[in-house]
Amino acid sequence: MNLVKDDFIKAFSLYEEKALQHRRFKHRDILPLLENNKIHKQLTVEEIGRSVEYRSIFRLRYGQGPIKVLLWSQMHGDEPTATMALLDLFNFFNGERDGFDTFRKEIAEKLTLYFIPMLNPDGAERYQRRTAMDVDMNRDARAVATVEGALLKAQAMLLKPDFAFNLHNQNNYYNIPGTATPVTISLLAPAYDYARSVNTVRADAMRVIVGINKILQEFIPNAVAKYDDEHTPRGFGDNFQKWGASTILIESGAYAGDPEKLEVRKYNFIALLKAFQEIASGSYSVHDIADYNAIPFNDEKLHDALIRNLSIEKNGKKMLVDVAIRQNEKTVADDYYVEGVIEDIGDLRDFYGYTDLDVEELQFIPAKLYSDRVFSLAELTLPIIVDLLKQGFAAIMVSDTMEGVKVHTFPIQIMKGANFQGAVRPIIGDHADFFIGSKSEIRYAVINGYLIDLKEEMGENFKNGIL
Ligand SMILES: [Zn+2]
């Protein structure tokens, strides 16, 4: 049964795991979802070991076919998108009488699928890349010193898979070369040697990728790229390829306006379902490696905001610059905040921004702290904040806190004391808080890296005083 575009849409809409709609879920959030699979009996669920902090690591199996496929997700704890897609796939395999029974039967007869979701649960707990021992598991395939990496290698040796899928997230700043389009999915058949040789094992991985790319192009034309193919002797993907499994790296990237990566998760689901179809039917074998080579490599020229042609000045010397801003996520316990930072200054014509604005020689205006009075959070309405912004105040002092109110989401910096000093010009690594305008009028505010157009209708940029 050959699934076409509409089938993939239908499958995802039927089986998307609704309990997971945010990226910062934890091991405890997926435990009951994995347990559910035991009830349906379509997948077997087995604990194969525990993380350093004793969190269970599971392997789920579907099918009993001769071709063995091993997939693992989230060996980097802050790369959760594929874990979501795997849970969607489990729901799909638990389904019945939905038009996909023939497809599932074919998969189950031809393939045995082994899934290891969330290989780094301790990292997921902290939303960090590394394990609880602060080691990057994807640089541990050679030493196999981490408990969790050793579990994965043991599965590789035990199962001797024919195909392997290494599932990651890449950062939001990769673009398709020469365009402002973020890379939504990047793919790679990792190299097993420095010469990037192509044996039959790696060639088959490339052919499966051609099949995946074909379906993704129907959804996200020109938003698929190849990941860097330099050989990394410590990486798991490279070693799986060396160990004889045709190995495919899938990196979940970015899709504009999709901070929780729910669209990207859908394309993950579709990519994997398509791969299973190609492998089960053998249709991948007719694909041309030239089509793999034709997929462009990731470029990395995106920023969160790019402000072009900004006039800056020192000692009476003026110059026009482009300013790039990144919005870095900082994790604090179970929550996080965003810190807008100036990333680059100069000629950035070859770069792009998710927010991209030519300010046509308007000036950089330093931000000020409003110190005439101290506010309480309850009185801070949007009109009050906008009025302060228009006067060049980027920071205010507040005396209180309110349960559930996150001060970093306000479109003005909320300070506890008078410790705010706006820079006189953009400085690399500095907080991105400043204004843009002419001598007579402030036109834009940049607060914590977010650009606010002060001429726009209120509420366009933010609702209820919140960014
Ligand atoms: Zn990763």
Q: How far is the CA of 218 from the centre of ligand 1 (A)?
A: 26
Say if residue 155 is in the same domain as residue 214.
yes
Q: What percent of the chain has pLDDT over 90?
A: 90
Q: What percent of the chain has pLDDT over 70?
A: 98
Of the candidate ranges 44-53, 80-89, 374-383, the one whose mean pLDDT is the lowest? 374-383
Q: How far is the CA of 79 from the centre of ligand 1 (A)?
A: 6
- Assess if residue 466 is contained within a domain: no
- With a CB cutoff of 8 Å and minimum separation 6, the contacts of 426 are 310, 312, 321, 323, 342, 345, 364, 434
- Assess if residue 52 is contained within a domain: yes
Q: Summarize pLDDT for 372-423 with one digit per residue, the tens.
A: 999 999 889 999 999 999 999 999 999 988 787 888 889 999 998 888 999 9
CA–CA gap between residue 382 and residue 459 (Å, rounded) = 8
Q: How far is the CA of 83 from the centre of ligand 1 (A)?
A: 12
Say if residue 307 is in the same domain as residue 196.
no
Q: How far is the CA of 254 from the centre of ligand 1 (A)?
A: 14
Q: How far is the CA of 76 from the centre of ligand 1 (A)?
A: 5
What pLDDT is recorded for position 51?
A: 98
What pLDDT is recorded for position 402?
A: 79
Whichever domain contains 123, its CATH number is 3.40.630.10
Q: How far is the CA of 375 from the centre of ligand 1 (A)?
A: 43
Q: Summarize pLDDT for 393-402 with one digit per residue, the tens.
A: 999 999 988 7
Nearest CA among 423, 407, 410 for reference residue 452: 410
Q: How far is the CA of 78 from the centre of ligand 1 (A)?
A: 8
Say if residue 334 is in the same domain as residue 253.
no
Domain end among 293, 325, 350: 293
- With a CB cutoff of 8 Å and minimum separation 6, the contacts of 213 are 187, 224, 291, 292, 295
Q: How far is the CA of 200 from the centre of ligand 1 (A)?
A: 26
What is the pLDDT confidence band of residue 464, given thresholds at 50, 70 and 90? very low
Q: How far is the CA of 120 from the centre of ligand 1 (A)?
A: 11
Say if residue 254 is in the same domain as residue 323.
no
Q: How far is the CA of 178 from the centre of ligand 1 (A)?
A: 25
Considering only residues 331 and 191, tell me which one the structure prediction assigns the higher pLDDT.
191
Q: Summarize pLDDT for 133-173 with one digit per residue, the tens.
A: 999 999 999 999 999 999 999 999 999 999 999 999 999 99
Say if residue 33 is in the same domain as residue 167.
yes
Q: How far is the CA of 110 from the centre of ligand 1 (A)?
A: 30
Q: How far is the CA of 202 from the centre of ligand 1 (A)?
A: 20
Say if residue 245 is in the same domain as residue 373.
no
Q: How far is the CA of 196 from the centre of ligand 1 (A)?
A: 21
CA–CA gap between residue 186 and residue 348 (Å, rounded) = 24
Whichever domain contains 372, its CATH number is 2.30.40.10
Nearest CA among 165, 170, 114, 123 for reference residue 147: 123
Say if residue 210 is in the same domain as residue 352.
no
Q: Which domain holds residue 391?
A: 302-453
Q: How far is the CA of 370 from the centre of ligand 1 (A)?
A: 43
For tokens 């420095």, name the residue. Answer: 194
Q: Whole-number mean pLDDT of the chain? A: 95
Mean pLDDT of 65-91: 98
Residue 72 gets which letter from DSSP? E
What is the pLDDT confidence band of residue 458, given thresholds at 50, 70 and 90? low
* DSSP string over 406-417: -GGGSSSEEESS
Of the candidate ranges 218-222, 425-429, 455-459, the one whose mean pLDDT is the lowest? 455-459
Answer whether residue 467 shows pLDDT above 60.
no
Q: How far is the CA of 148 from the centre of ligand 1 (A)?
A: 15
Say if residue 395 is in the same domain as residue 412.
yes
- Assess if residue 465 is contained within a domain: no
What pLDDT is recorded for position 457?
A: 67
The terminus-to-terminus CA distance of the chain in angstroms comes to: 47
What pLDDT is recorded for position 30?
A: 98
- Assess if residue 461 is contained within a domain: no
Q: How far is the CA of 168 from the centre of ligand 1 (A)?
A: 4
Say if residue 323 is in the same domain as residue 361.
yes
Domain end among 293, 310, 335: 293
Q: How far is the CA of 36 from the centre of ligand 1 (A)?
A: 27
Say if residue 173 is in the same domain as residue 308.
no
Q: Summarize pLDDT for 304-318 with one digit per residue, the tens.
A: 999 999 999 999 999
Say if residue 69 is in the same domain as residue 211.
yes
Q: How far is the CA of 352 from the centre of ligand 1 (A)?
A: 24
CA–CA gap between residue 230 and residue 194 (Å, rounded) = 7
Q: Compute the C-alpha angle 393/399/404, nearest 5°.
A: 95
Q: How far is the CA of 438 from the centre of ligand 1 (A)?
A: 44
CA–CA gap between residue 413 and residue 264 (Å, rounded) = 32
What pLDDT is recorded for position 350?
A: 97
Mean pLDDT of 338-366: 97
What pLDDT is recorded for position 389?
A: 97
pTM over 0.85: yes
Domain end among 268, 293, 318: 293
Q: Summarize pLDDT for 425-456 with one digit per residue, the tens.
A: 999 999 999 999 999 999 999 999 999 999 88
Q: How far is the CA of 154 from the centre of ligand 1 (A)?
A: 20
- Assess if residue 384 is contained within a domain: yes
Q: How far is the CA of 157 from the centre of ligand 1 (A)?
A: 22
Strands of 266-387 (E only): list them. Answer: 302-314, 317-332, 335-346, 352-358, 363-366, 368-375
Say if residue 283 is in the same domain as residue 399.
no
Q: How far is the CA of 297 from the centre of ligand 1 (A)?
A: 17
What pLDDT is recorded for position 306?
A: 98
Total structural domains in the chain?
Answer: 2
CA–CA gap between residue 239 and residue 244 (Å, rounded) = 9
